[in-house]
Amino acid sequence: MSEKRLEGRVALVTGASRGIGYAVAKALAAEGAQIIATARTTGALEQLDDEIRSAGGQCTLVPLDLMDPEGIEKLAGVIAERWGKLDILVCNAGVLGQITPAHQITAKTWNEVLGVNTIVPARFIRAFEALLRASDAGRALFTSSGASTSRRAYWAAYSASKAALDALVQSWAKELEDCALTANLVDPGATRTKMRAKAAPGEDPETLPHPDEVAPLFVELALPSETRNGEIVKFERG
């Protein structure tokens, strides 16, 4: 039996109830990581838990609305008390908002998109940096998007939120050059997810990579031996 590369490491994955987060949680667990999975949808989290445990892995479920003003900080407190560290943070949860002209984007949409895609990751950095530094090789990963640079018409809210995320993480990464903690972004490209289906309803999903194909890239960047820091790593199929 091959050695599991993340045996004994603690990994927190947001947006783990479906899509890329679901696949990444499974992939990390398959490599031996203890998974802490968060999402708003309890039923889908329970399905993830069943799948991980049936494969011999370990999973702790935390139903959580990331926009809760105190939820992230309370979660950090629980993890600190139980494990005293966090080895892997995967900030994957995201929302698309509306594909619409910029002048039609409502304040509610701006608040939701920037809140989930940018401010929530910033709160995770604030709440979890100390726990990630407590690891011998902390790894923080954030799901980026090509929309941060393509900035197509009608994608203003999502593009702005992802561009801000890239700037946030890359700036933070420069602060980490004196320690074992690294922070990187993953651009998965167009992937077979519900968000992609909403953004491109006329697209054939079978032509796109499945989240299970993207997940190994997250695993690679989560390894203690990984040295990249402050990079936007693009998934390339095949």
Q: Which residues contact 74 (CB under 8 A, 6 or more apart)?
A: none
Residue 31 tokens read as: 């490599």
Q: How far apart are CA 191 and CA 184, in angstroms?
A: 19
Spell out the domain ranges in the chain.
10-234
CATH assignment, 10-234 = 3.40.50.720
Residue 49 tokens read as: 């838990």
Is residue 158 flagged as an active site residue? Answer: yes
What are the beta bridge partners of residue 233? 186
Whole-number pLDDT of residue 203: 81
φ, ψ for residue 229 (rounded to 5)? -150, 130
| Helix-strand-coil split of the chain, %, nearest 5 | 45, 15, 40
Helices (H), ranges, the chain: 19-30, 42-54, 71-82, 107-114, 120-133, 147-150, 156-175, 194-199, 211-222
How far is the CA of 90 from the CAs of 12, 20, 86, 185, 198, in angstroms? 6, 11, 11, 10, 23
Amino acid at 215: A
Q: Which residues contact 106 (CB under 8 A, 6 or more apart)?
A: none
Q: Which residues contact 3 (CB under 8 A, 6 or more apart)?
A: none
Mean pLDDT of the chain: 95
Q: Which residue in 128, 142, 158, 218 is the catalytic one?
A: 158
Whole-number pLDDT of residue 3: 86
What crossing angle do the helices spanning 120-133 and 156-175 adopt, rounded to 10°?
Answer: 20
Q: Are 36 and 14 in contact (CB under 8 A)?
A: no
pLDDT-above-70 percentage for the chain: 99
Pick the range with the lowest mean pLDDT from 107-121, 146-160, 202-216, 219-233.
202-216
Report pTM: 0.95
Q: Shortest CA distance to 142 belongs to which of 155, 161, 36?
A: 161
Q: Which residues contact 174 (CB under 8 A, 6 or more apart)?
A: 230
Pick the range with the lowest mean pLDDT from 58-67, 159-168, 193-202.
193-202
Please report which confidence band the pLDDT of residue 207 belongs to, taking 50, 70 and 90 as the band edges: confident
